[in-house]
Structure 1
Amino acid sequence: MGEQNPLCVNVSTTNSTTEILSRYDMINWVNDCLHTHYTKIEELCSGAAYCQFMNMMFPGCVNLRKVKVKANLEHEYIQNFKVLQASFKKVGVDKNIPVDQMIKGRFQDNFEFVQWFKKFFDANYVGQKYDPMEARESTIIWGGTPPGPSRIGHNNKVSASRLVHATKPTTRKASGLDSKHIGAATQTAGGAEGGGSQKLEDLTSQVSKLKTKVDGLEKERDFYYGKLRDIEVLCQEREQRNGKSVGTEKILEILYATKEGFAVPEDHVEEGAAV
C-alpha cells in the first residue's frame, strides 16, 4: 500500500516565499480571524490558537473540547500541542512543531512558527463560513504573560523585572478574595434556615458581582501591561540597533519608575518558578 495523499497543501517558509509581516500584523491577523485578544506573539505559546485555526481550515480534524483555550501553564501548553500534532498527522502536514522551544514563551521561536503557519493558512483556507466564538462555546481568550524568561534578553533581566513588578500585580490575591467569599457563603448555606436562605442569595450575588468586576479589571490590566511591554521592547531594540539616545533612555526611565518606598513583594520574584 502506498502512502495516503495529504489532505492539505504543505508549504515551506523562506525569505523569498514569505510575505513580510510585522509582529503587530501577525497578532492582528490572529485576533481578527479568531476573535481573540492576544497582545503579543509570545502568548501564542499556548498552542490554543493553532488548534482553532486547524478546526477552521479542516472541520472535524480537531475536537476543541480537548483544547485548553485559557491555558497558562506549560503542561497545559504541551497538551494543546499534542492535540495540534494529532491534527497535523490527520491531514498530512509535514511540519515539525518545536514544542519544547515554543512553550517557553520566547518571541523568536513563536514568531518563526506563526510566520510559517500564516503561509500554511493562506494555502489551505478556502473561505468557508466559520464562527470562532461559537466553535469554542463563546469562551473569550485574552492574552496573558507566558511563563519562562522575558523576551527582552539576559542583559536586561533586572530592568524588565522592575517593569513587570511595577505594573502587573498577581492574580493570586483576587482569587483568594473570591475563595473567602465563597467559603463564607458555603458555611452560611450549611446552617441556613428561614431567613438564612435570603442571606445566602445575597452573598452569592455579591460574590458574582465581585468576580465579574475582578475579571474585568484583570483584563484591562493585562491589556495595558501588554502595551507597556511592547513599548519597552521597541526602545531596547532601537538601542541595540542605533545605540542609546536621550529619548529612549527617558522613556525607559519612566517605565521603570516606582513610587517612593515601593518594594517588590517576595512572592512576585518566585512566581512562575514553581510548577
Structure 2
Amino acid sequence: MAASNIGMMDGAYFVGRNEILAWINTTLQLGIAKVEEAASGAVACQLMDAAHPGAVPMHKVNFDAKNEYDMIQNYKVLQDVFNKLKITKHIEVNKLIKGRPLDNLEFMQWMKRYCDSVNGGSMSSYNASERRESSKGGKETNRRTSVTSQAPAKSAPATHKGQTSHGAKRANVHAGNAPQRNAKPALSNSAGPVYDAQMTELKLLVDSAEKERDFYFSKLRDVEILCQSPEVEHLPIVKAIQKILYASEDDPSTVAEAHAEMLAQQNQQQQQPMLSPILEASEVPSSTSREASEEISRQEAAHKRKSVSDLEEFEMGSSSRLRLSDVSDVQLCGSPLMSFT
C-alpha cells in the first residue's frame, strides 16, 4: 500500500488531534477523549479490522490492557496483521506504550491515512460494538461507551425534578441557593475540556522538546566517538573540541581557552626540528640504492680494465710503427734525393 511508506512531511501528519479523535470515535463507536488512550494498541487493532474485516483475530485483542505486557501482546497481534497484509510500517512499540501524546498522535494519523487509502474512509457497514464483544474487556468498553452517551439525556430529568416544590415557602427558600449550586457544576463542566486540551498541548510540547534533545545529544555523541578515533585524537583541534564537550559549566571562557591551547600545540609542533629528506635518504640507504652502488662499482672496475688494455695495445702499435719507419729509411737509401747528399 502507498500509505505504508508515507513520509513525515505528508499531509496525513498535519491532521489535528480533535479530527483524529472524532474519526476514531465515529469509526469504532468509542468515547475516548485523549489520543494517549489508544496507547494499548487495541484501538489500532480494531481500526485494521474495520479496514480489512475479519483480518484481525479480535478474540486476541485486549481492550482492558493496563500494563506493558498486555499492551505488547496487542501490538504483536497488530504486527502479525501487518505481516499478513505485507504492510512495511515499523511500529515503535516502546514509545507507544509509554502513552506519550505526540507518538500516539503520529501513529493514529498514519492509521487514518492508511484506512482512507484502503476504502476511502467509508466504514459505515462495520459494526464495531459487535466485533468488540469477542475481545477481552470489549463488553466493559461497550458498556462504558453506552453510559457516556446516555449521561446527558439522564441529567435533564434530574434538573426538572429538582425544580418541583412541595410548598411555595420551601421553593422560595431554595430559590436563592439554586443558582449558586448549579453554577459550580457548570463551571467545572466547561473548564474540564479546556484543562484537558491545555494538558495535551503541554504534553505535546514536552514530547517535542524531548525529541529535539535526543536528536542533538546523538549528534554530540557522534562527534565524541569521532574525536576518540586513534587517527585524529592527537590533533590539537580534536583536543580543543573535547575540552568544549567535557566542560562542566557553561563558561564562555572555555572556548577561548580551548582555542589558545590549540594554537600553542600547533606552534610547538612547528618548532620541532625535522630531518631533511636528503639526509634521511643518505643515512638510511635502501636496498635498491645499495644495489645501484654495487653496479656502478662493477662498471668502473670494468672501465679501468678496458683502459689498461687499450693502453697496452697502443704501446704495442707504436713500437711496430717505429720498426716500419726503420725499414723505410733503409729502402729510401736508393732514392734520387740521396744523390744530393
Identify, as 1 or 2, the structure richer in helix: 2
TM-score normalised according to structure 1 size: 0.49
TM-score normalised according to structure 2 size: 0.40
Larger Rg: 2
